[in-house]
Amino acid sequence: MAAEVLAGQGVRVVVAEAMPTPARKFLMAGKSGLNLTRDEPWARFVTHYGGSAPGLRPPPEYLENGEMGPAEVMAWARGLGVELFTGSTGRVFPVGMKASPLLRAWLARLAGQGVALRTRWRWSDFDGDGWRFAVPDGVEVLRPRAVVLALGGASWPRLGSDAAWVPWLRDKGVAVTPFRPANMGFRVAWSAQMARHFGQAVKGVALHVADRVGRGEWVVTAGGIEGGGIYEVAAAMRDGDEAFVDLAPDLGAGELARRFARAPLKLSVGNRLRRVLGDPLRAALLMEWGRPLPAEPERLAMRAKALRVRHEGPMDIARAISSAGGIAAESLTGELELKALPGVFAAGEMLDWEAPTGGYLLTGCLSTGCLAGRGAAAYLAAARR
């Protein structure tokens, strides 16, 4: 996005891509449907962002100044010829759900603007006043007038974001908050009885963590729990807040207790729970995390309505969808320029921010790319005066 903004203002742009092909994480994001953004009021939209980076809890003026909120992201995608649709929860997708058609159109636009793409160019450190790259034929050193860094965080390192840049920037006086997993699953030491449920989706429940509620589905795996419903509350869980699952969010505790009381006593405990909760997996979770189960219907209902999630911490950052941490706000100007390195800007996941899945991550990356591109263009314009 920064390249598009700069090229649109007549700047000659070279994109140095470390991998053999560009946008691998973007394509990975589209494997299960490319959720570009969330069509919801701006005031609600920005509450989903956390971290210290400027621009991630942006004031409404950013929209007025042409930065990228949900409406701008949708207009940008349509401008690339991509037809969109909005789901019932406000999530915005390409009609074909795929990332590749949008990426092809985007790369074609950049090529038409004169942007040069250099693949297998991996930044390997500073070289005096230059930037040293490991390239297929050896080493190249560039001395650009301005630089926009979009090196990613620390999740999915096999796709290119390995955080190798952290010590190089720290050596230049840039403060970098340590990376932590975000939008990740949590490890659970299941009993043998849960093995039959591995791979099954938990539906129709509500996860409560601090002031957050996750109503999305999540999956029981051999290693733990993961999925959209978990990611909605993952940051608070990672930071130590306890998680409680309501196995019957559409029923009050009194009604649930009456249903438990009416269940035939001749049934086994497991069958009584399955009959009342209407789902073998929800019953299994209650038996797994709720033991010893209360005998009284009222107490059993309360247990099912606030079942503590017994986990052993987040899964490894390499498996996380995204990461928290990165360049701290104290090291950045409002235009995402590094205070310690004039003319160098940063965007995307290398900044200290986080957001849940559901369109917020991609919009955050596009928005910060736009902001950094505009900042770099202004820097170049000022240098010419």
Structural domain boundaries in the chain: 2-181+317-384, 186-308
Q: What is the C-alpha separation between 93 and 322, in angstroms, rounded?
A: 19
Specify the residue for token string 């390195």.
341
Q: Report the percentage of the chain scoring pLDDT > 70.
A: 96
Question: Within a 13 Å sphere around the CA of 88, how many CA atoms are in the beta-carbon half?
Answer: 1
Question: Position of tokens 């401008």?
Answer: 79
Kindly state the average pLDDT of the residues 159-179.
Answer: 96
Q: Tell me which of 113 and 61 has the higher pLDDT.
A: 113
Question: Does this model's pTM top 0.95?
Answer: no
pLDDT at 55 over 70: no
| Number of CB atoms found within 10 A of residue 3's CB | 22
- In CATH terms, the fold of domain 2-181+317-384 is FAD/NAD(P)-binding domain (3.50.50)
Contact by Cβ (8 Å): 36, 94: yes
| Residue 248 pLDDT grade (very low, low, confident, very high; cuts 50, 70, 90) | very high
Strand, coil or helix: 63: helix
- Residue range 269-295, pLDDT digits in tens: 889 899 999 999 999 999 999 999 999
- What are the pLDDT digits (tens) for 62-108? 344 446 889 999 999 999 999 999 998 899 999 999 999 999 999 99
